[in-house]
Amino acid sequence: MKMVFRWFGEGNDTVTLEQIRQIPGVEGIVWALHDVPAGEEWPMDKILQVKKAADKAGLHMKVVESVNIHEDIKLGLPSRDLYIDNYKKTIVKLAEVGVKVICYNFMPVFDWVRTDLHKELEDGSTALFYEKEKVAHLNLEEQVQRINANPNFTMPGWEPERLGRLTELFDAYRNVTEEQLFDNAKYFLEAIIPFAEKYDIRMAIHPDDPPWPIFGLPRIITGQANIRRFLGLVDSPNNGLTMCSGSLGANPANDIVSIVNEFADRIPFAHIRNVRVYDNGDFIETSHRTTDGTVDIAGIVNALHENDYEGFCRPDHGRHIWDEQCRPGYGLYDRALGIMYLWGLWDANRRKLQSGRMGN
Ligand code: DNO
């Protein structure tokens, strides 16, 4: 398991590369050009700026999250070919600087959704929270404004320019069914995966967050059966999964250990975090520790270890603790604690295996 850490870029993150480098076992950053709109080709000079900073800090940049998919691709519009071409051009450039994994998602209009970015937990820390009832009655324009209320940061997935066209997008999706979304994903994968094979890049689809349809929009990366179908659309090791325990775990019906066991050789990237799911379907993000939430984090790490997982892993969202002022979900402290928990589980597994071998 190779540990990496999400970094939003110079001037766009409260966490520094020097700090990241001091977290035990972290070898690289998970990065993106957050100011390039979905569908546009990434400029090489900007990519090289990130490379310069990463090199200087002694961190690699093998994992990108995300190269976002233009809505026209998800909608299956004729203009999608242009955006797919741009995607390919970006892949060539990323391969040139040594990128091995591209995380992306196929969610219509919205990326992750929460109703509260700073909900207080019992211990006084705060975390991202999802209230089911509220989502059912949410005024979307207001929500977009609320998410973008912090002038210091644009939230990934909620960039104002991609949400400026909400009404138009909702109209366009009105008749798009799950089946059509799968068809449109297939078209994208058939164009991109051979290309990714050629450039030795593993594409890693991120599950929908939360893993069910919202606001009447279809969602397809919701659980084991749909993941199986998606990976089968183009059956190649380069058509992979970002195994996100928190996204999948928001639906307790998802058996994530089983997902890891079934798709282990198709998982180049793991996002690990815990959520506590309440009986009414609300959920809050907690510390990574298994007993703090509903997701069996220990079981998931054990399963990764049993499958000789050699892919990348990052701690996912953390709580906001010790008065840290940071991007919602992306502070230094709780994610660093999360990493030490993950290493603890991992090393305990390794030790057990070693002592088993010595006993033989
Ligand atoms: C939010 C993230 C998502 C994720 C994308 C992957 O914090 O989990 O924005 O990066 O869905 O494409």
pLDDT in tens, 74-123: 999 999 999 999 999 999 999 999 999 999 999 999 899 999 999 999 99
Which domains does the chain show, CATH number per domain? 2-359 (3.20.20.150)
Q: Could you tell me the two tokens for 165?
A: 């066209």
Whose C-alpha lies nearest to ligand 1, atom 3? 112
Confidence of residue 7 (pLDDT cuts 50, 70, 90): very high
Q: What is the pTM of this model?
A: 0.96
Q: Give the pLDDT confidence score for residue 357 in this predicted structure.
A: 75
Whether the pLDDT of residue 359 is over 70: the answer is no
What pLDDT score was predicted for residue 78?
97
- For residue 315, the Cα-to-chain-centroid distance in whole angstroms is 10
Chain segment 54-78, per-residue pLDDT in tens: 999 999 999 999 999 999 999 999 9
Minimum mean pLDDT range among 20-24, 165-169, 255-259: 165-169
- CA of residue 359 to ligand 1 center, whole Å: 43
Judged by average pLDDT, the poorest of 51-55, 132-136, 293-297 is 132-136
44 Cβ contact list (under 8 Å, min separation 6):
93, 96
Region 10-35: mean pLDDT is 97
Higher pLDDT pick, 137 / 26 = 26
CA angle at residue 332 from 153 to 98, to 5 degrees? Answer: 80
Q: Is the CB of 293 under 6 A from ligand 1?
A: no
Q: What pLDDT sits at residue 144?
A: 77
Give the atom of ligand 1 at the shortest distance from the alpha carbon of 271: 8
- Which atom of ligand 1 is nearest the CA belonging to 6? 10
Q: CA-CA distance, 322 to 125, in Å (whole number)? A: 8
CA–centroid distance, 208 to ligand 1, in Å, is 9
Least confident of 15-19, 60-64, 160-164, 173-177: 160-164
Tens-place pLDDT, residues 112-171: 999 999 999 999 999 999 999 988 888 777 777 777 777 677 777 787 776 778 888 889
Q: Give the CB-side neighbour count of residue 72, counting CA atoms within 13 A.
A: 14
Closest alpha carbon to 209 in 327, 106, 328, 301: 106
The structure tokens listed for 64 are: 């990108």
Q: Does the pLDDT of residue 330 top 90, yes or no?
A: yes
User: HSE (CB half, 13 Å, CA atoms) of 149?
Assistant: 10
Active site residues: 206, 244, 271, 316-317, 330
In sequence order, the 6+-apart residues with CB closer than 8 A to the CB of 233 are 182, 185, 186, 189, 190, 239
Question: What average pLDDT is seen over the chain?
Answer: 95
Query: Residue 360: what pLDDT?
Result: 54
Q: Which atom of ligand 1 is nearest to 329's Cα? A: 7
Contact 248, 211 (CB under 8 A): yes
Residue 355 has pLDDT above 90, yes or no: no
Q: pLDDT per residue over 178-236, tens digit each?
A: 999 999 999 999 999 999 999 999 999 999 999 999 988 999 999 999 999 999 999 99
pLDDT at 225: 98
pLDDT at 296 over 60: yes
| Cβ–ligand 1 contact at 329 (below 6 Å) | yes
